[in-house]
Structure formats: C-alpha cells, structure tokens
C-alpha cells in the first residue's frame, strides 16, 4: 500500500461510481475522497491559485486586451495566459454556482480596484487606471500588502467607533447579485422539459419567428430548433440546454456541433453554469461552424430583459427641500 491507496490486487473489481467520491475543503486545500470498502484514499483536487496570485495575471490581462474589457474577456485572457487546465477550471466554489477560479478572479478585480489599478463602469467594463498601466508585479504585491493593512485599520476604527468587538469581520464576497443567485437556484430546480420550454419562450421573445422543442431521444443532443429572421434573410438555429452547476467544457461544444453536422451551421448552447476558456475557444474555432454561448449570468440578464419569471420594481425616491427664497419674496 502506498500513500494510503490499496494496491491494484486489493481493490474491488467494480468501477468507482461518482457517488463514491466526496469533496472536502480543509485548511484551504481542496481534496476528494474515494472509498474502497473500509479504505479511504484522499486525492487532492487540481490546485487553484489564490486571489493574491491572480492579482498580477488579472491586471496583465486587462492591459493585453487594450486596457479595458468585460469580465468574460478578462477571465478568458487570464485562462489563456496562465494555461489553466479544464480540471482546474471545473473546480466549483461553495454551493457550485460559480467556479473557484471565477470566484477568486472576482476578488482579484475587487482588490485591484481598491488599490487604484482598475476601475469599472456601471455597464460592467473594467479598465486600467494611469497607475495600473505602470505597475510591475513587484509593485502589485507591495501595494496589495499596504491596501490590506489599510482595510484592516479602517475596519478596526469603524468597529471601535460603534463599540463593537475587535474580532475580524468577514469581507463581502464579490459575485452575482442576490436576484441572480436566487433565479439560478430556481432554474436548477425546474424539470428538464420545463427548462427547454423556457428556452423556446426566450427565443421567441428575442425575435425568433418560430421555436420548437424536440426533446426526443436520438436527437443527438439537440433540444430544439428555432428560425431567426434578419431583414430579408432567415435561417435555422439549433439549441441545446444544459442545467449545470459549474463549467461546461470544450467536449460539450464539440458534441453539440457534431449533432448539428449535416443539419445546419448555426448553434446556440445555453447553460445555467459557466463555460471554460477551452469551451469558448472551441465555440469560435477557425474552420468550424460557430456556436453561440449563453452562460448563467447572461441567461439571467435575458430573462430580466424580456420579463420572463423576473419582475423589476422601480422605486421612486422623493427629495424635498425648502425654497427659502420663496418665503423671503412674500
């Protein structure tokens, strides 16, 4: 026996089922456990860099895409530069609504903004500041340490002013708004056929002149087909729905494209999860029919935009002030 794993001859013949695995997070280390009768082997998950290690890669990525970009562009560039494997990209954070890399990259952007290296607009576009365009990796590390100390002192002063305890408070987690998290939970709970019907309804609301759910076995993974009309032209678009927690990999994109082969060249892949960098590259690979991708975040935005299961309540705030000059002129 080596490293707690029984030799091949001691293992039972049946293959290990997914239910035999469990995930643990101890002391910040991600591990998996697989059980052979009374023997448990602990196998480390692929290592995911801490947000501190992602500070410079994030800033570098924004610079390399032209000093501004949306979150999806920045994440994709970091994945490309750092050559993260699909296994690393597939490690989930917490309850699985996002990957561990996405979660830590969100922290990296938040800290870089606090350090004065990045700004972000209301439209979700992140850009480098004048300072951010001149920092070196060593500068980023030293400024991060100084910023952490500044945050700690500011929180301490605020707690003392309120008469609270000295205990360290947890920082707010960056990420999706609460309504998006709630909506994704609802979508993950609805039956598969209901989710496919929702996709059909969404396509119709988005301008498709027809949308049909196939939902039949032997359809090669295609859940439905819609016809999109653009001016004088119209063309069929095949779509597939995947209710995932975590990342959809390049294999799913290739399989979907294969199912479309000989039937059409426009595809739409919809998921409640995310797409790995490799999946995004595969979707736009030269020489292959493009596949458009809609991840969970974009899906929430579209449902909100078209009022499907999401209601937006606009609250009016009334500011009242006294016009003193009015009384002076009486």
Instruction: Give me the CATH topology for the region 181-305.
Output: Trna Endonuclease; Chain: A, domain 1 (3.40.1350)
| Beta carbons of 200 and 212 less than 8 angstroms apart | yes
How many CB atoms neighbour CB 129 within 10 A?
Answer: 16
pLDDT digits (tens, 9 = 90+) for 199-236: 889 988 888 888 887 765 544 578 888 888 877 788 88
At 228 the pLDDT is 86
Local confidence band at 78 (pLDDT 50, 70, 90 cut-offs):
very high
- Taking alpha carbons only, the member of 131, 108, 128, 132 closest to residue 120 is 128
Q: What is the DSSP letter of 323?
A: -
CA dist 157 and 164 (Å) reads 10
Angle, alpha carbons 72-208-304 (nearest 5°): 50
pLDDT at 39 over 60: no
Domain 55-160 grouped into CATH 1.10.10: yes
Angle, alpha carbons 127-131-136 (nearest 5°): 100
The predicted model scores a pTM of: 0.56
pLDDT digits (tens, 9 = 90+) for 170-184: 444 455 578 888 898
- Look at 225-229, 253-257, 269-273 and tell me which has the smallest mean pLDDT: 225-229
The domain limits of the chain are 8-44, 55-160, 181-305
pLDDT at 140 over 90: yes
Secondary structure E strands in the chain: 21-26, 29-36, 39-44, 68-70, 92-93, 98-99, 118-120, 125-128, 208-213, 224-230, 233-242, 247-248, 267-271, 274-275, 291-294
At 16 the pLDDT is 39
User: Helix (H, G, I), strand (E, B), or coil: what is residue 301?
Assistant: helix
Local confidence band at 36 (pLDDT 50, 70, 90 cut-offs):
very low
CA dist 310 and 312 (Å) reads 7
């Amino acid at each position: 026996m080596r490293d707690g794993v029984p030799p091949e001859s001691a293992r039972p013949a049946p293959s290990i089922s997914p239910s035999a695995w469990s995930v643990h997070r101890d002391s910040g280390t991600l591990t998996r456990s697989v059980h052979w009768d009374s023997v448990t082997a602990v196998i480390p998950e692929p290592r995911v860099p801490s947000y501190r290690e992602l500070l410079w890669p994030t800033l570098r990525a924004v610079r390399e895409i032209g000093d501004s970009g949306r979150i999806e562009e920045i994440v994709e560039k970091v994945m490309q530069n750092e050559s993260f494997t699909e296994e690393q990209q597939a490690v989930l954070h917490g309850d699985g609504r996002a990957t561990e890399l996405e979660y830590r990259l969100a922290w990296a952007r938040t800290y870089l903004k606090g350090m004065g290296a990045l700004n972000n607009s209301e439209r979700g576009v992140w850009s480098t500041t004048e300072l951010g365009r001149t920092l070196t990796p060593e500068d980023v590390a030293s400024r991060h340490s100084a910023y952490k100390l500044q945050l700690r002192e500011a929180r301490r002063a605020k707690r003392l002013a309120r008469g609270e305890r000295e205990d360290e408070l947890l920082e707010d987690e960056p990420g999706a708004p609460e309504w998006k998290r709630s909506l994704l939970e609802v979508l993950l709970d609805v039956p598969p056929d209901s989710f496919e019907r929702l996709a059909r309804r969404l396509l119709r609301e988005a301008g498709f002149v027809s949308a049909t759910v196939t939902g039949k076995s032997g359809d090669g993974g295609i859940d439905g087909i819609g016809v999109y009309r653009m001016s004088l032209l119209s063309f069929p678009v095949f779509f597939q729905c995947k209710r995932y927690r975590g990342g959809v990999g390049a294999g799913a994109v290739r399989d979907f494209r294969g199912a479309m082969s000989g039937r059409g060249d426009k595809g739409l892949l919809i998921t409640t999860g995310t797409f790995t960098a490799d999946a995004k590259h595969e979707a736009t690979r030269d020489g292959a029919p493009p596949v458009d991708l809609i991840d969970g975040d974009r899906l929430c935005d579209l449902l909100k935009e078209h009022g499907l299961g999401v209601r937006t309540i606009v609250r009016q705030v009334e500011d009242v002030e006294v016009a003193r000059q009015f009384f002076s002129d009486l």
